[in-house]
Amino acid sequence: MSESSVLQSLRDTLSAIEADGHRRRPVLPFGVPAVDERLANGGLRLDALHEVAAATPAMGDDASATLFLAGVAARAWGPVLWVVRRRDLFAPGLYQSGLAPDRVLYAEASDDSEVLALMEEGLRHRALGAVIGETRRAAMASTRRLQLAAEGGRTIALLLKRHAREGADPLAVPSAAVTRWRVGSAPSAPLPVAGVGRARWDLALVRQRNGEPFQTIVEACDETGRIALPARLVDRPAAAGRAGARAAA
């Protein structure tokens, strides 16, 4: 066999290995093109750690971040392990975001170290669709362990970084997470009749591996765990097209 043939054979083998690697990295898309198209992987990698923090320590923002996590877990494939430090989760609220009570296993930890240890154990179990933990502090080494535990599997790791003190940024500490999100409540649009429209969130992707950060307004998760773009944002491209056509005329 000639040298060029050997090299080509090696290239073909490496290409096949790389392709297999991509297939072994399944993603969980949001189902919103305006969001998925801006994510480096077209969605959230299932074999990875993702961090979420509330925009402020306010209860409304904390609830928004929690329900955002619930919506992601709701669309995962199997049982969900949720490791908490305090018993403040409202099961009916999680259910309204698509996460049914019979899918959730709760574990209460005494401190952040125990939260992280239980999360790692859950990720290595490989029989869970999602593992969620709530901490105030997580060092780089701890997040790296979670990322390594998630790699090679299909259990998405979700870490809620709670505010440790007023004015401190939970996402300021370096992390091995593939994506880092900040979620806050945003004003809801009123319905045509008396009442309040679907809740809205100010959703910011602060950091993502191999991609750029972005920020947008979305409607909160529905009963299937899916977010949506507000109507005015969905209609914006069409409106721009109509304006351009009028200008050309």
CA atoms within 13 A on the CB side of 214: 13
Q: What pLDDT digit, counting tens, does each position of 115-133 carry?
A: 999 999 999 999 999 999 9
φ, ψ of residue 28 to 5 degrees: the values are: -115, 100
Question: And the tokens for 82?
Answer: 């949720």
Kindly state the average pLDDT of the residues 94-102.
Answer: 97
Q: Does residue 242 carry a pLDDT above 60?
A: no
Per-residue confidence band for 247, with pLDDT thresholds at 50, 70 and 90 = very low
> Which pTM does this prediction carry?
0.84
Positive or negative, the CA dihedral 148, 111, 108, 67 is: negative
* pLDDT given for residue 231 in this prediction: 84
Neighbours of 92 (CB within 10 A): 7
Share of the chain above pLDDT 90, in %: 74
> Across all residues in the chain, what is the average pLDDT?
87
Location of structure tokens 């990720």? 123
Location of structure tokens 């299932």? 46
What CA–CA distance (Å, rounded) separates 93 from 100? 10
Location of structure tokens 């690697």? 21
Q: What's at 149, amino acid-wise?
A: A
The answer to which of 144-153, 171-180, 187-196, 198-207 has the lowest mean pLDDT is 187-196
Q: What pLDDT digit, counting tens, does each position of 4-63 carry?
A: 666 666 555 545 444 444 445 799 999 999 999 999 999 999 999 999 999 999 999 999
User: Which ranges in 88-215 belong to alpha helices (H)?
Assistant: 91-96, 112-125, 140-150
Q: Does residue 91 carry a pLDDT above 70?
A: yes
What CA–CA distance (Å, rounded) separates 217 from 219? 7
Q: What pLDDT digit, counting tens, does each position of 64-89 carry?
A: 999 999 999 999 999 999 999 988 89
User: Which ranges in 75-191 belong to alpha helices (H)?
Assistant: 91-96, 112-125, 140-150
- The H or E element that residue 71 is part of is helix 59-74
* pLDDT given for residue 23 in this prediction: 45
CB 227, CB 35: distance < 8 Å? yes
* pLDDT given for residue 236 in this prediction: 55
Helices (H) and strands (E) in the chain, counts: 8, 10
Share of the chain above pLDDT 70, in %: 80
